Structure 1
């Protein structure tokens, strides 16, 4: 019983209390408004999960600035519908959809192959797609769902596209990798040797995947800076945003979600603002590159994200899990 409370009940309580704290912060803070960004003609961007929610708003704005946008997502019909909506708003938009299932490493590799066949540069990679509090399950490759979809799928995608990002960056305009994470990383714990725990907690698994994203982003930024590459890695907390992400929350809270979301959650467009700022702002090249951003400002993260040994251990373990050299 004590093990169940510690492994399952406590993470849920922590996450919902954190959510309440975040909502109170959003209630009493001014929402960040994206300043005017430079045109992006000739630039190419990939947005995972770009068919709806925050991802759609990011893809829409990038297309409006003239970037060639590639949306990656599981649902082809939803993806093509998103492409049509973007073209309705921006008639000259260069936007397309390629199927991408982050829960399948084969699908990730196929997506990258399709992209490389187009012989395009890659200036912006927005790792936005994700799941939250889904029932216990495994990906096609046997990984816990949150860890596999939110983190490992994006790890492999970024790894396979990294050379394109390095080659496409310029001294006056770095290529960017933007990982859409969450304040939930603050209560996450990395347990790479215990992904199949007897007491599964969707709440703990979600927080672990978000902490993993931040560790990956920080380690990638260090590697890019050490190699003097004109590319940088950012992590962004978009805040609590009114999207379908919350459909698996605890049932009693789900009943009140509609009202609370309308009053206190940010809109997808508001949630996308800091993601776009990290992806586009000329002010974030050089010494200001990288870091963890929320509501338009660089923020402190939880102590584990600064643990260099943990960053390296997660990176090496992830590469082994995916069979990468």
Structure 2
């Protein structure tokens, strides 16, 4: 199966953001000295043989950025206003190829928003044999972020650091991380697999922030929780839930525009300059699941993720152990 994904780039006045929102240091206009960026959308074009199930706030943010005079480039998301680069988060090979293509452009990278995802899909695997929720929602972003960290470090500066924004979900509060069966192969539950992937994203972000802080890196990492947003992610949920969404979605669900704002805030708010390791909901810091603050659990997941994606684990080296 070739899964869908989107990676976004926005360039303005020589600055570039990948998967980012307005990087203008706040809500300033296009005259800002920093680069705007872009967020992900709800229905990206799938790879051949794939399914358009990536869920996130759609093109509303990109349209707003276009109004700021921003050049927007996306992956797996064709649009006459946008230039796009292809990246399949269900494929380690595709992610590595994307990063290689991106780096040949020799452009800085100020904000990375990890936003693509699937929800409640039937049991199936990625190109590399990973359970699809864990592979696309988590491992794809884990690998992509690590491969782009050097560019993020080079692009950040004191007082104007680069940022990694990872989109999780309140579903992580009911998630359980099964380190003995991360692929949910013993007993598959679509809800449990989705919740685990969202929990893994929070653990990943907190450990990433700890590493970045220990390295004195001009990069921060935070989690954004968009809330319950009206997108096509719900196509695989119970029919009763879909009916409630159809009838009461206008009242219960956020619009895609509203759902994008916490990611926007995490990407550009001056109040977050130099601050990481936060879980943000409705543009405010809040507590995530208590287990996510366990440094040993963070390390164990990070080590296993490095093994699965074939990258070096620098935890011991970074902390001088």
Q: TM-score, normalised by structure 2?
A: 0.80
Retained in 2: the 8 A contact 1:37–1:281?
no
Tell me, in whole angstroms, the C-alpha distance in 2 between the residues paired with 1:67 and 1:151. Answer: 29
Distance 2:207 2:88 in 1: 25
* Residue of structure 2 in register with 1:275 after alignment: 263
1:58, distance to aligned residue in structure 2 (A):
3.6
Structure 2 partner of 1:305: 292
- Identify the match of residue 36 of structure 1 among 27, 48, 51: 27
Could you say if the C-alpha distance between residues 61 and 178 of structure 1 is closer, same or farther in structure 2, counting changes exceeding 3 Å?
farther
Contact 1:103/1:145, CA 8 A, preserved across alignment:
yes
User: In the alignment, which of 161, 164, 176 is matched to residue 148 of structure 2?
Assistant: 161
Matched residue SS, 2:288: coil
Query: Structure 2 CA distance, aligned partners of 1:68 and 1:42?
Result: 13
The offset of 1:45, in angstroms, is 4.5
* Residue 69 of structure 1, CA deviation: 3.4
Please state how far the C-alpha of 1:66 moved relative to its aligned partner.
4.6
The match for 1:186 is 173
Q: TM-score, normalised by structure 1?
A: 0.79
Pair 1:60–1:274, CA change in 2 (3 A): same
From 182, 207, 221, the equivalent of 1:233 is 221
- Confirm or deny that 1:171 pairs with 2:154: no
Q: Tell me, yes or no, if the aligned pair for 2:166 and 2:205 is still in contact at 8 Å.
A: yes
**How far apart are 1:68 and its partner, in Å?**
4.6
> Whole-Å Cα distance in 1 between the matches of residues 41 and 185 of structure 2?
29
Task: Report whether the alignment pairs 1:260 with 2:240.
Answer: no
2: CA distance between counterparts of 1:48 and 1:113? 21
What is the aligned counterpart of 2:115 among 128, 150, 157? 128
Q: Counterpart of 2:277 in 1: which secondary structure?
A: coil
| Alignment deviations for residues 45-74 of structure 1 (CA, whole Å, 9 cap, x no partner) | 57555766515334344444455533223x
Distance 1:103 1:274, change over 3 A: same
1:237-288 per-residue CA deviation (whole Å, 9 max, x = no partner) reads 00000111111111222223211212210111101011001001122113x4
Aligned equivalent of 1:22: none
**Residue by residue, what CA displacement relative to the aligned partner does 1:98-149 show, whole Å, maximum 9, x if unpaired?**
1111111111111111111111110011111000000000110000000000
Name the structure 2 match of 1:72: 75
Partner Cα separation in structure 2 for residue 38 and residue 230 of structure 1: 25
Match of residue 8 from structure 1: none
CA RMSD of aligned residues (A): 2.0
Structure 2 gaps of 5+ residues are: 1-25, 45-55, 313-321
Q: Secondary structure at the match of 1:54?
A: coil
Number of aligned residues: 274
1:228–1:190: structure 2 CA closer, same or farther, 3 Å change rule? same
Local SS of the residue matching 2:223: strand
The answer (yes or no) to whether the contact 2:175–2:198 under 8 Å persists in 1 is yes
Shift of 1:290: 3.5
1:144 aligns with 2:131: yes
Q: Name the structure with the higher helix share.
A: 1
Aligned to 1:213: 201
3-state secondary structure, aligned to 2:198: helix
Distance 2:233 2:289 in 1: 23
